[in-house]
A = this chain, B = another copy of it.
């Protein structure tokens, strides 16, 4: 059982509202078809679809005023449209993808998925399908509604489905010793041990900075999977072949998280 997360910066042009990165999506659909690694669940982020609306209406922070209600729904519709594009590219590549809407079966508690009913996802997998989910606007028991990230969802699915490996694809190669955009001799960490780094502050120290392409949040989120004995690999999904190699379990440029 494999979980593949494709970041919003991979499947969309992050700076152009509502613009899918069709080249990346089509190439990744082909890589997924070639990897032929099943069972597999795909999760993708929102990028320039979900984020602009969610931010405009303050959806992640929960309900404060009536006008947010429309924004909550519009955030979900934006994600549905991006998901539709991705599922159709996968189907065109011969991948038996099936769209699953997180907000239709997940309710969070203070922004966190506390339990998740995997009945539908499991049946789809048993039938040879590849469920495709996404970061979404969902109902929350404490704050009315919120946004769940694709990273959180990928990790929860990995735990619930007892996955062997989670591949987190973003637009950077992995975790660096320093921000590679700022520090010239920043070095890619091929293997990052999370032992003794149980909380955000400690991991932040270990990474020396929290501005390395949003990697800190990813690593914190992934800790839960790593502690459950699941292999987590961070790869650059904008570079051809890396996702295919990571799905196949081949050696690949990236960061492997271990306990």
Q: List residues of A whose CB falls within 8 A of some B CB.
A: 63, 66, 69-70, 72-74, 76-77, 80-81, 84, 87-88, 91, 96-107, 117, 119-120, 123-124, 127-129, 139, 141, 144-145
A104 to B98, CA, bound (A): 10
30 A-B pairs with CB atoms under 8 Å apart are A66-B128, A69-B96, A69-B127, A70-B91, A73-B91, A73-B96, A73-B97, A73-B98, A73-B129, A76-B98, A77-B84, A77-B87, A77-B88, A77-B91, A77-B99, A81-B84, A84-B84, A98-B103, A99-B101, A100-B101, A100-B104, A101-B104, A104-B104, A105-B105, A106-B120, A107-B120, A120-B139, A123-B139, A123-B141, A127-B139
Q: What residues of chain B lie closer than 8 Å to A144, measured between beta carbons? A: 127
Name the CB-closest residue of B to A94: B70
The 8 closest A-B pairs by CB, nearest first: A104-B104, A101-B101, A105-B105, A123-B139, A101-B104, A73-B98, A69-B96, A100-B104
Report how many copies the assembly holds: 2
A63 to B129, CA, bound (A): 13
Chain B nearest CB: distance from A50 CB in Å? 14
